[in-house]
A = this chain, B = another copy of it.
Amino acid sequence: MAPTQKLINDGNHTVDEMLAGVLAAHPNHLALAAPRAVIAKSGPRPGKVALIIGGGSGHEPTFLGFVGKGLADGCAVGNVFASPPPQPVVDAALATHGGAGVLLMYGNYAGDVMNFDMAAELLQMDNVEARTVLTTDDIASSPNPAKRRGVAGNVFIFKAAGAAADLMLPLDEVERIARHANARTYTMGVALSACSLPQTRRLNFDLPAGEMEIGMGIHGEPGIRRGPLKPADAVVDEMMDAILAEMAAPAGASVAVLVNSLGSTPLMELYILYARVAERLKLAGLGIHSSLVGPYCTSMEMAGASITVMHLDDELAKMLDHPCDCAMFRVG
């Protein structure tokens, strides 16, 4: 897509104008506690742990689409591809916590780590107990699981933590389940094009037509390898080989699957990918408990897709099946 082809007004105000639209479109679900601090209309509830998520904009429906009853209580909204500062994190937490502490969850990026850590300190100074759990599901981003980035697997990981909090579990338990969910969630992506940044209307990286980059991050971070675009099944096989090897789930185990569009890859292609993902899981003797197919964690109009597999146990299956009612995501 040509870099200039955006339906925006001012490249420097896209996030605030988007927020105005989100709040106007979802008045029963979402409200603003303070600038860039989106909260669920359903809260707060006494005795409930508050789950606050957030990160840069441009990944919609991640993050603000996952605010609602049964999932996140609030969200701090950063600029495009940039961490929010600590203040909206603090504002969202103070507006939604029920006296049982706050769990802050976000993808593992340096800017987010710094700002959410600062927010946690500020909350402690307000005598609100705050813990943080980073998501690190992008297996292509580092051989060391602790150094990996958080990408589309956020949907499952946040969902599990949000369900735990909605079930009124204490902060220790919500944190444990969040870490457990993250440890069992594996994502790999493939990019077919760059996206363009609204501020500059320029592409954020260069990827020639006919090429793909396996393992590329959701802000254009380098992947594992670049090469000619292959048929869909071959692309899935390369990603599933890596995911299945990392996951090392025994035959008979149960998984949840997300086939995610990075932006402009349409449902037709996602379902073609899904068909092969399902075949590979069946060949590995794994059962599919539930599936999501669609744009869940995007990079604006980037072309490409990611595959996420969460290795379930009874606890995680229960958390994924727990009802949630968000502006852009519902279960149950």
Binding site for B on A (CB under 8 A): 1-10, 14-15, 17-22, 24-26, 57-58, 60-61, 65, 190, 192-193, 198, 209-210, 229, 231-233, 235, 259, 263-275, 278, 288, 291, 293-295, 298, 300-301, 303-305, 328, 330
Contact = CB atoms under 8 A, between A and B. Distances in A.
A7 B209 contact: no
Tell me the number of copies of this protein: 2
| A192, A267, A303: residue with the most chain B Cβ atoms closer than 10 Å | A267
Contact of A9 (B21, B25, B232, B295): B232
Contact of A275 (B24, B210, B269): B24
A271 B2 contact: no
A303 B305 contact: no
Contacts of A26: 291
9 contacts: A7-B273, A17-B271, A18-B268, A22-B271, A26-B291, A198-B268, A266-B298, A295-B295, A301-B303
A291 B29 CA distance: 12
B264 A301 contact: yes
Nearest to A28: B290
Contacts of A18: 267-268, 271-272, 275
A4 B209 contact: yes
Given A4-B209, A4-B210, A265-B7, A274 B231 contact: no
A321 to B, nearest CB: 12
Contacts of A300: 266, 268
Contacts of A235: 7
> Top 10 closest A-B pairs, CB basis?
A264-B264, A2-B209, A21-B271, A21-B275, A60-B267, A21-B274, A24-B278, A7-B269, A20-B275, A5-B192
Contacts of A269: 6-8
B4 A274 contact: no
B25 A274 contact: yes
